[in-house]
Every structure is written in structure tokens, then in C-alpha cells.
Copies of this chain bind each other. A is one copy, B any other.
């Protein structure tokens, strides 16, 4: 098995070599720009890993892996317009550096480019690969729409939230792994199990992210601790707290959610205190554990030599116990 870090190096080199036409510049420059912003490029590396797991030729999976990276960055380019985000990975977003129209159209062209890259698989698996890719793309669009609609709603339920993060982030992880498995020559059942592993792992990872935003070590967690609380972001923790809080607790929580002027640190401390009273962290960790177990159960059933399953387990462990 190739090391994931080596696969990331391979992907980085491939992204650097990826070129687009020079003209029209305003269509293609933003594509090169957003791809050059970097990031961990974990998804494309995982596509290669999945191919390698089943004994496939990693080189033959590089262009489909790039397709996943281009597709993911297309969604970021459009999401940033919708979120009016000024920065992406510490750099100016495309719609700020150029304008919203450029970001819309470049994103559209990026999606076409990702389709072209994904088509670069052998004929025998073209249809199954493209079917997974299209279903994944639909899921990501649905997840983004559901997430946007949450901002205007105050009655989001836990199951709706879990469905949203499944669609918005987890199906892309699952789809990426499944495509890699198909390219690697996996049987359909094993590819489906790897998909299930990826989706459940993705949900667990997102729940961990929600927990870390409140309870993470500020020195290890990349973002501002409490950022979700300050912005009233509907995370697992907040939704669960709104479900469980009664009487005085519920009033206090709602006061913080509706306050227009507040001291950020006071809000973080007070809301965290309510979370603690309601044992929200434990609820969230239990949910996270449930999805992690589902991922590990799917993994156990994959028809692979035990040391390869162990490799996947270690990878999942490395993702799931990050920065406490």
C-alpha cells in the first residue's frame, strides 16, 4: 500500500501540471487561481488510495482524482458567492478578486472540466463511474440548498441536520472512495461497502468538527473556538440544545440567539455553559461514535486482506481523533 502522504504529493504534482486554455482569460484564470490556493487535497488522494487498495494502477486514477478536486473547488467557488465569503484559504475569493459573474461562469466551466477529467477511465467502467459522480454531484447540490434554507429556519431537527451534512460533505467522500474502488477493479459489493464507509466516516468527521468548534484545544484547532456559537450556526450541538433546553435554560439560550449586541466571549462562555448543563458534548460524541461504528462495520465486511482493512482503520482513526 502506498502511503497517503505520498499520494498527496502525487496529486499536488498533477494539480500543478493541470493547464487550461489561455483564452478567454476570465473564464480559465479563476480556475487555475482557486486550484492553486491549495488545501490538503485529501479527497483526490483518497481516490488514489481506494484504487490502490484493490490493486489498481494508481496512475490510471490520477485524472479522475483531479476531477474530484476540480469538482470540489467548483462547489467552493459557487458557495463563496452564495455565502458572500471574502476569503478562501486566507486568499481573496474569486467573486471578490474578479466579480460574481466571473465566479458563476468559471464555476460552470469548472464543472464541465471535472466531467471531462472523470471521463478519462477505461470504457468498461465509464458508465458506473459517471453514474456515481453524477449522483454525488446531485447530493452536494441538495446538501448546499438544505444548508442555505436552515439559515432562515428555527425548527431544524436533528435528523434533518444529519441528512444535510450527509449530502453536503459526506457523499462526496463516499463517492470519491467508490469511484477509486471501481477504477481499482473492486467488485460492486466492495465498492458499495467502501461508499458506506466513506459516507458514515464523513458524517462522524463533521460531527467531530462541530464538537471541536466548542471544545477543541485552541492551539490545535485551526479555527476560532466558539465561532459557531458566535454566528448562531445550526450545528448538531445547537440543534440538540434547542431540543433539550426547557424553561429558564431555553429562555437564556434564545436570548443569546436573538441578541443583536453582545460580547463574543461572554456569549461563547454562556452558551457553552448551557451545553454543559445539558450534556450536549456527550450527546454529540455518542452520535459521532454511532456513525464511526457504522463506518467500521462497513469496512469489516469489505473483501480485502486484513492488513488492508487495518490500513483503512488507521486512516479513519487518524481523521477522527484529531485535536482534543
Known contacts A112-B137, A137-B112; A119/B104 CB under 8 A: no
Query: Is A286 an interface position by the 8 A CB rule?
Result: no
Taking CB atoms, residues of chain B closer than 8 Å to A102 are: 145
Instruction: For residue A294, give the distance in angstroms from its CB to the closest CB of chain B.
Output: 24
Chain B CB within 10 A, most for which of A102, A108, A149: A108
B131–A24 contact, CB under 8 A?
no
CA distance A53 to B27 in the complex (A): 36
Q: Which of B27, B101, B134, B145 contacts A115 (CB 8 A)?
A: B134
A78 CA / B19 CA spacing, docked (Å) = 25
Q: Smallest distance from the beta carbon of A316 to chain B beta carbons, Å? A: 29
Chain B nearest Cβ from A25, distance in angstroms: 9
A148 to B107, CA, bound (A): 15
Do A119 and B108 form a contact, CB below 8 Å, given A142-B27, A145-B26?
no
Q: Does A264 sit within 8 A of B, measured CB to CB?
A: no
Q: How many interface residues does chain A have, given as a range?
A: 35 or more
Residue pair A24, B149 in contact (C-beta under 8 Å): yes
Q: Which residues of B contact A24 (CB under 8 A)?
A: 142, 145-146, 149
Q: Which of A122-130, A196-204, A217-225 contacts B (4 or more CB under 8 A)?
A: A122-130
A109 at the B interface (CB under 8 A): yes
Inside 8 A of A137's CB, which chain B residues have their CB? Answer: 112, 115
User: Which of B109, B111, B119, B149 is in CB contact (< 8 Å) with A26?
Assistant: B149
A197 to B119, CA, bound (A): 27
Roughly how many angstroms separate A108 CA and B109 CA in the complex, as a whole number? 11
B26 touches A105 (CB 8 A): no
Q: Does A249 contact B (CB under 8 A)?
A: no
Choose among B78, B82, B126, B134 the residue that contacts A127 (Cβ–Cβ < 8 A): B126
What's the nearest-Cβ distance from chain B to residue A27, in Å? Answer: 4
- Contact with A104, one of B82, B116, B130 (Cβ below 8 angstroms): B82
Q: How far in angstroms is the closest Cβ of chain B from A204?
A: 24
Whole-angstrom distance between the Cβ of A80 and the nearest chain B Cβ? 11
Q: Is the CB of A82 within 8 A of B101?
A: yes
Residues of chain B contacted by A144 (CB below 8 angstroms): 105
Tell me the smallest distance from the CB of A280 to a CB of chain B, in Å. 27
Which residues of A does B touch, CB under 8 Å?
A: 21, 24, 26-27, 78, 81-82, 100-102, 104-105, 107-109, 111-113, 115-116, 119, 123, 126-127, 130-131, 134, 137-138, 141-142, 144-146, 148-149
Closest 4 CB pairs of A and B: A27-B145, A109-B141, A82-B101, A24-B145
For this complex, 23 residue pairs linking A to B, each with C-beta atoms less than 8 Å apart, are A21-B142, A24-B145, A24-B146, A26-B145, A26-B148, A26-B149, A27-B145, A78-B104, A81-B101, A82-B101, A82-B105, A102-B145, A109-B141, A111-B111, A112-B134, A112-B138, A112-B141, A115-B115, A115-B130, A116-B134, A119-B127, A126-B126, A126-B127
